[in-house]
């Protein structure tokens, strides 16, 4: 049915359409010659037959037989130029009006409804643009109407979507996912296609240093990532043991539940983005003792039982995926990485060390190098001694690790700072294989130069305290913090705040905000230790569980803001937090559970 807004146009189009027809008929009639007068003419050639002998039956001009019917016509044919001009003018005006009404309608008419399905299926794999979008929506329309697509076309569409989904170089957007789920809702998709879709959506990864040494710590990350997947993913998965050469158990994981659904006992919950587990295994005398030095295979298997709620509920799939990597096992004293010495570039600034602060915190020496975009990987021991005292041995003050191009801040400590004269220190950064072993991600090449920072002033802790506000780090700091979904209600709520790889330490209080009202729900959350092990690349993370009661008198809302605000009181921060992040981090419109909104 046409809408009420289009009815006047249709009436106008019909009216002038009839006028066009009338004008056309009259114009055709006007173009026909009308005979006037009594003069006879030959019907064949138009010769004037006046004065012809009565017995003559032939045209003197063309010889036509004049005895036949209509062979002789009476009067001269004439056209009325005035009538032609009038009806021609009226016809032109009518056509102009009809065109002004009909042409826009024809241009905007959804001719795509008549396109062959094969054209549309080819267009959804094209570059982003209106053509692709129109094809997506037309195919979605046809999927949801009876007999909109033939069975063959539907299967061709599903195969095209699965090809796009499995190729990371192809664009995969929400409309593409909608096409797939609409086919599932109407029973036009097979279990095999759902299985393929789920398997393509899961990436299992295992990463570690390419070389490990006996007697040292083997650091690795293992996890599951869900890509190009709907946020209605449900189910669980179980990460199997990490095996060496498919035989020796190196590490064991527990089962994982997705969004709290089907969560097995003693499991860890994850969200639909996936999870990554960081671990370290000491390679002591017993571990891998029976395995000779050389390449070893590290691998594990993950078993999945997944489905998508809603349209996919009936399609539960079970499958397994493996991940592995080759690691070289080396003796404890081996140098497994490449350290290159540059005789021309030997200053700390040449390697991205732009600043260094030393703080005496009540006898605990804190050393904080500021590293910015090093041109090569850094893996170094940090050594200190009193400035100019070449007669004293260097003392260890931790290690420094930084990947090429990274922007990180690291903290190091040395107890018994009283051995220094308390005013100035020489700081030496010495290439170290031990530091390289702990680098994550590892670099292919490390700086082999010893870097000396002479006569660094030792500051008291209070004078060194300052907030770090660096626009170049803001995005990385924000990305290092996550707020997990809020559960509970209608009065008691709980959620968690997780901290990951931040380039600076974080000392924050947590607030919730609804409208113009705020309330602190967690004091003194800290991330970043004095030895630098939890800042920068971040081999591990921490999570703060937070519970709160909905404040009396607050309006009923569906979303709140979660605010992480730097702790203003220095006494509430760890002593090592000499340069904590100084800007608040705001997560806006965090939803409360719908069924439990206050």
Please report which confidence band the pLDDT of residue 6 belongs to, taking 50, 70 and 90 as the band edges.
Answer: very low
How much is the CA Rg of the chain, to the nearest whole Å?
42
Q: DSSP letters of 218-239? A: EEEEEEEEE-S--TTEEEEEEE
Q: Which of 41-50, 100-109, 328-337 has the highest mean pLDDT?
A: 328-337
Residue 464: what pLDDT? 47
Q: DSSP letters of 431-496? A: E-HHHHHT-SSPPSSEE-S-EEEEEEEEEEHHHH---B--HHHHHHHHHTEEEPPPEE-SSEEEEE
pLDDT exceeding 90 applies to what percent of the chain? 13
Residue 540 has pLDDT above 50, yes or no: no
Give the separation between CA 509 and CA 487, rounded to whole angstroms: 20
Q: Select from 425, 453, 473 the least CA-distant residue to 369.
A: 453
Residue 98 has pLDDT above 70, yes or no: yes
Residue 541: what pLDDT? 55
For residue 441, cis peptide bond before it (omega within 30 degrees of 0)? yes
Give the model confidence (pLDDT) of 231-242 as tens digits.
667 777 888 888
Residue 3: what pLDDT? 43
Q: Are 301 and 321 in contact (CB under 8 A)?
A: yes
Give the model confidence (pLDDT) of 408-445 as tens digits.
555 555 555 555 555 788 999 999 998 888 776 677 78
Residue 340: what pLDDT? 93
Give the separation between CA 437 and CA 456, rounded to whole angstroms: 28
Residue 129 has pLDDT above 80, yes or no: yes
Average pLDDT, the chain: 78
Residue 83: C-alpha distances to residues 118, 431, 501, 542 (Å): 54, 104, 89, 94
Residue 217 backbone phi and psi in degrees, to 5: -95, 130
Residue 240 backbone phi and psi in degrees, to 5: -75, 180
Give the model confidence (pLDDT) of 547-597 as tens digits.
888 888 787 778 899 999 987 765 445 555 567 888 999 999 888 875 444
Q: DSSP letters of 501-558? A: --SS-EEEEEEEEETTEEEEEEEEEEE--TTSTTSTT-SS-EEEEEEEEPPTTPPP-S
Residue 179 has pLDDT above 90, yes or no: no
Give the separation between CA 254 and CA 250, rounded to whole angstroms: 14
Residue 266 has pLDDT above 60, yes or no: no
Give the separation between CA 510 and CA 481, rounded to whole angstroms: 12
Give the separation between CA 256 and CA 263, rounded to whole angstroms: 7
Across the chain, how many H-helices and E-strands are there? 10, 31
Give the separation between CA 209 and CA 281, rounded to whole angstroms: 12
Give me 334's structure tokens: 């081996």
Residue 321 has pLDDT above 80, yes or no: yes
Give the separation between CA 16 and CA 103, rounded to whole angstroms: 14
The arithmetic mean of pLDDT across residues 376-389, rounded, is 89
Residue 270: what pLDDT? 41
State whether residue 185 is helix, strand or coil.
helix
Give the separation between CA 220 and CA 211, rounded to whole angstroms: 11
Residue 467 has pLDDT above 80, yes or no: no
pTM, entire model: 0.57
What is the CB neighbour count within 10 angstroms for residue 422?
12
């Amino acid at each position: 049915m046409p809408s009420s807004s289009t009815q006047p146009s249709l009436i106008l189009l019909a009216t002038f359409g009839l006028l066009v027809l009338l004008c056309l008929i009259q114009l055709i009639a006007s173009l026909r010659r009308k005979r006037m007068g009594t003069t006879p003419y030959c019907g064949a050639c138009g010769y004037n037959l006046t004065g012809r002998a009565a017995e003559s039956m032939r045209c003197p001009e063309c010889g036509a037989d004049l005895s036949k019917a209509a062979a002789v016509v009476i009067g001269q044919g004439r056209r009325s130029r005035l009538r032609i001009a009038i009806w021609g003018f009226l016809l032109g005006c009518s056509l102009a009006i009809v065109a002004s009404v009909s042409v826009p309608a024809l241009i905007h008419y959804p001719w795509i409804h008549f396109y062959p399905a094969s054209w549309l299926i080819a267009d959804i794999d094209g570059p982003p643009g209106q053509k692709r979008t129109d094809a997506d929506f037309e195919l979605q329309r046809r999927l949801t109407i009876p007999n909109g697509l033939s069975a063959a076309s539907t299967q061709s569409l599903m195969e095209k979507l699965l090809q796009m989904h499995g190729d990371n170089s192809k664009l995969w957007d929400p409309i593409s996912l909608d096409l797939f789920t609409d086919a599932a809702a109407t029973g036009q998709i097979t279990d095999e296609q759902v299985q393929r879709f789920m398997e393509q959506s899961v990436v299992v990864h295992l990463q570690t240093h390419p070389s490990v040494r006996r007697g040292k710590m083997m650091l690795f990350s293992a996890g599951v990532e869900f890509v190009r997947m709907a946020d209605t993913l449900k189910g669980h998965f179980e990460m199997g043991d990490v095996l060496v050469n498919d035989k020796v158990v190196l590490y064991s994981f527990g089962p994982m539940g997705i969004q709290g659904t089907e969560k097995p006992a003693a499991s860890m919950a994850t969200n639909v983005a996936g999870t990554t587990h960081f671990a370290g295994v000491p390679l002591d005398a017993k571990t891998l003792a029976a395995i000779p030095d050389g390449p070893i295979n590290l691998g594990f298997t993950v078993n999945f039982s997944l489905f998508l709620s809603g349209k996919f509920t009936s399609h539960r799939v079970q499958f397994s995926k493996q991940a592995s990597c080759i690691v070289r096992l080396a003796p404890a004293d081996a140098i497994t990485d490449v350290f290159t010495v540059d005789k021309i570039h030997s200053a700390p600034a040449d390697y991205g060390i732009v600043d260094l602060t030393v703080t005496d915190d009540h006898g605990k020496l804190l050393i904080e190098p500021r590293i910015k975009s090093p041109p090569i990987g850094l893996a170094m021991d940090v050594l200190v001694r009193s400035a100019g005292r070449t007669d004293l041995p260097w003392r260890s003050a931790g290690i420094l690790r930084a990947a090429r191009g990274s922007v990180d801040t690291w903290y190091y400590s040395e107890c018994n700072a009283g051995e220094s004269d308390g005013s100035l220190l020489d700081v030496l950064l010495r290439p170290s294989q031990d530091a390289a072993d702990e680098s994550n991600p590892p670099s292919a090449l490390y700086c082999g130069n010893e870097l000396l920072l002479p006569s660094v002033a030792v500051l008291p802790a209070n004078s060194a305290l300052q907030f770090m506000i660096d626009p170049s780090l803001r995005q990385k700091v924000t990305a290092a913090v996550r707020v997990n979904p809020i559960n509970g209600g209608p009065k008691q709520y709980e959620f968690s705040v997780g901290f990951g790889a931040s380039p600076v330490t974080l000392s924050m209080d947590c607030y919730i905000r609804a409208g113009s009202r705020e309330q602190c729900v967690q004091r003194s959350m800290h991330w970043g230790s004095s030895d630098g092990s939890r800042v920068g690349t971040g081999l591990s993370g921490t999570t703060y569980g937070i519970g709160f009661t909905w404040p009396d008198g607050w309006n009923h809302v569906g979303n709140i803001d979660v605010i992480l605000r730097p702790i203003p009181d220095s006494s509430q921060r760890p002593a090592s937090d000499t340069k904590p992040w100084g800007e608040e981090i705001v997560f806006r419109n965090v939803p409360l559970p719908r069924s439990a909104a206050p």
